[in-house]
Amino acid sequence: MESQSQIESMLDRRDRKLLTERTKYKAQPTSKMHKRINNLNKGRLKRSSFAKESKLIETENEIIQEIKNLTPLETHASTPPWEKQPQIEIRSHIRSIESKHKHSDLELKDLTSTYLNENFPKEEWIRVYTDGSAENAVTNGGSGVYIEMPDGKTTESSIPTGIHCSNYRAELEAIMEALTILGRTTPSIPQAKAVILSDSRSVLEKLEVLRGAERQQLAKGFKNAVQNTQSLVLQWIPAPVE
């Protein structure tokens, strides 16, 4: 009934009164009770003594307060590593290009070049071109990476991606290889900005919804690259730029 009516219980009122009296006696050095309270270990006390009971209540309250002040330990990450990387931006479209089929190859190159120069000028951005493909889209996959540094230097890399490999997997491996290279080269570049350019729109659209081992692997690659870059963008392009 006390809990339902929110009335303080007799036991709680008793404990509160004991603590009030104990606090009062502790503030009176000349009081006999002050000496008894501060010398609990120097003599035997009755189980029902005021000093002992008030001490127990005070100790319990202190422990409870300490528990309340503890910062809970996280048994798992509050958010996945992927979601902790706000610097990463994925762009799977270019506003001026609605569809590759509506433009000639020359027009696509011109539109792509204009877009890159406006958004990722080569004097400021590391441009990373990736390409991955497989024979008949299912076998003998291979990936290639071509990097243009702001100072004009270039780096190339090519890796096999397996006998049984899809175009999607080959392009994903190319992006992972690009991230690995960026993780090694960007520490020496202050406030580096990098854009990874891929002609596989489907890969970029699926990156945000990866699950399982692929998601973990890509998140790890992003983490290493992001630590050394000020900005990191994954950008779809419809055609390579010479």
The answer to whether 174 and 142 have CB atoms below 8 angstroms apart is no
Contact indicator for 169, 140 with CB cutoff of 8 Å: no
Determine the Cα–Cα distance for residues 27 and 62; give it in Å rounded to an integer.
Answer: 18
Q: What is the pLDDT of residue 191?
A: 83
Q: For residue 82, what pLDDT band results from cuts at 50, 70 and 90?
A: very low
User: What is the overall mean pLDDT for the chain?
Assistant: 75
Angstrom distances, CA of residue 127 to CA of 150, 160, 233: 8, 22, 10
What is the C-alpha to C-alpha distance for residues 23 and 17, in angstroms, rounded to an integer? Answer: 10
pLDDT of 49 > 90? The answer is no
Count Cβ atoms below 10 Å from residue 157 Cβ, excluding itself. 15
Contact 166, 133 (CB under 8 A): no
Which pLDDT value is given to residue 23?
72
Task: Check residue 71 and give its pLDDT.
Answer: 44
Q: What is the mean pLDDT of residues 177-182?
A: 89
Rounded to the nearest 10°, the torsion over CA 91, 96, 99, 100 is -90
Kindly list the structural domains of the chain, giving each domain's residue range(s) and its CATH number in brackets, ordered by start: 10-69 (no CATH), 81-236 (3.30.420.10)
* pLDDT at site 95: 86
The CA distances from residue 26 to 65, 190, 198, in Å, are 20, 62, 75
Winning range, highest mean pLDDT, from 60-64, 116-120, 219-223: 116-120
Please tell me the least confidently modeled range out of 135-144, 166-175, 193-202, 233-242.
Answer: 135-144
Q: Which residue has the higher pLDDT, 23 or 45?
A: 23
**Which residue has 């998601």 as its token pair?**
215
Angle, CA 91 vertex, CA 230 and CA 150 arms, to 5°: 40
pLDDT-derived band at 149, boundaries 50, 70, 90: very high
The residue among 177, 185, 197, 187 whose CA lies nearest residue 127 is 197
| pLDDT for position 75 | 45
> What pLDDT is attached to residue 142?
86
* Distance in angstroms (rounded) separating the CA atoms of residues 140 and 158: 13
Nearest to 154 by CA among 38, 49, 31, 242: 242
Distance from CA of residue 222 to its chain's centroid?
10
pLDDT bucket at 113, cuts 50 / 70 / 90: very high
**Local confidence band at 7 (pLDDT 50, 70, 90 cut-offs):** low
Indicate the range of 156-170, 195-209, 217-231 predicted with least confidence: 217-231
pLDDT tens-digit profile of 9-40? 666 666 667 667 767 666 667 766 666 666 65
Please provide residue 155's backbone torsions phi and psi, each rounded to the nearest 5 degrees: -135, 140
